[in-house]
Amino acid sequence: MDETLAKHYLEDSIENFRGYKKLAERAFEQVSDEEFFRALDEESNSIAVIIKHMAGNMLSRWTDFLTTDGEKPDRNRDMEFVITPATTRAEMMQRWETGWRAVFDAIESLQPEDLMKTVLIRGKEHTALKAINRQTTHYAYHIGQIVFLAKHFKSSEWKSLSIPRNKSAEFNAYLSEKGGSTSTEKRFDEPLDFVQETEMKDRK
């Protein structure tokens, strides 16, 4: 693989992960402790459960990323979907940070030439690049669930994390005036900045 392309891919992957992490945390900020642990029904996962599962996956997949199978023998995936009554929000947030630390420590240590190396996930061969893509889509899937749950719980009190309804043209004009960022991570910041600036203008 071309070294420049590989370097760009790694940088973009890190920005993607940081952006999705920030997006989820902005949803966390809007929910109460009760909502944090609430599931919509018996077959659904709460925000807390999704965090526990993601953190377990992160520690398993990214620890010794290039040298050991991404499904570690000491991982108990089924227990990632169990929350005991004694579990606290602070404990879940600590797991969240620990999991993401494993992600960033692994990716930030990779070199362009590592992307085509073979890594295993449940005994199946992946290039490191394919394994990164697999985790990017997995985490985006679950963070979408987190945002959905938070928005559902807050209803009319929800502070939009994306372009507000019926505001697309205004947002595009805002980007044209401000100059949109090319950073993958910052693309999640721009709608929030737009909402905040709009609210400030409306108060004047």
Q: What is the pLDDT of residue 204?
A: 61
In this structure, the answer to whether residues 34 and 80 fall within a common structural domain is yes
The answer to whether residue 199 scores a pLDDT higher than 80 is no
Last residue of a domain, one of 158, 173, 189: 158
Q: What is the pLDDT of residue 184?
A: 64
Residue 192's pLDDT band (boundaries 50, 70, 90)? confident
Number of domains, the chain:
2
In this structure, the answer to whether residues 38 and 131 fall within a common structural domain is yes
In this structure, the answer to whether residues 28 and 106 fall within a common structural domain is yes
Mean pLDDT of 118-138: 98
The answer to whether residue 125 scores a pLDDT higher than 70 is yes
The answer to whether residue 182 scores a pLDDT higher than 70 is no
In this structure, the answer to whether residues 136 and 90 fall within a common structural domain is yes
Of 9-18, 31-40, 153-162, 175-184, which gets the smallest average pLDDT? 175-184
For every residue of 10-61, DSSP letters joined together read HHHHHHHHHHHHHHHHHHHTTS-HHHHT--SSTTSPPHHHHHHHHHHHHHHH
Mean pLDDT of 22-50: 97
In this structure, the answer to whether residues 125 and 201 fall within a common structural domain is no
CATH number at residue 109: 1.20.120.450
The pTM (predicted TM-score) of the whole model is 0.89
Work out the angle at residue 123's Cα, subtended by the Cα atoms of residues 117 and 126, and round it to the nearest 5 degrees: 30
Q: How many CB atoms lie within 10 A of CB 49?
A: 19
Show Cβ contacts of residue 87 under 8 Å, excluding neighbours closer than 6 positions: 37, 48
Q: How many CB atoms lie within 10 A of CB 71?
A: 15
Residue 155's pLDDT band (boundaries 50, 70, 90)? very high
H-only helix segments in the chain: 3-28, 33-36, 47-62, 89-108, 128-154, 168-178, 189-203
Cα 187 to the chain's mean position, in Å? 14
Stronger pLDDT, 173 or 180, i.e. the higher one? 173
In this structure, the answer to whether residues 53 and 131 fall within a common structural domain is yes
Mean pLDDT of 72-91: 97
In this structure, the answer to whether residues 116 and 192 fall within a common structural domain is no
Beta bridge partners of 120: 125
The answer to whether residue 129 scores a pLDDT higher than 90 is yes
In this structure, the answer to whether residues 33 and 119 fall within a common structural domain is yes
In this structure, the answer to whether residues 136 and 38 fall within a common structural domain is yes
Pair 46, 37: CB distance under 8 Å: yes
Alpha-carbon radius of gyration of the chain: 19
The answer to whether residue 147 scores a pLDDT higher than 70 is yes
In this structure, the answer to whether residues 173 and 98 fall within a common structural domain is no
In this structure, the answer to whether residues 191 and 105 fall within a common structural domain is no
Average pLDDT over all residues of the chain: 92
Domain boundaries, position 67: 3-158
In this structure, the answer to whether residues 38 and 107 fall within a common structural domain is yes
Q: What is the pLDDT of residue 149?
A: 98
Of 35-44, 46-55, 135-144, 177-186, which gets the smallest average pLDDT? 177-186
Q: What is the pLDDT of residue 164?
A: 79
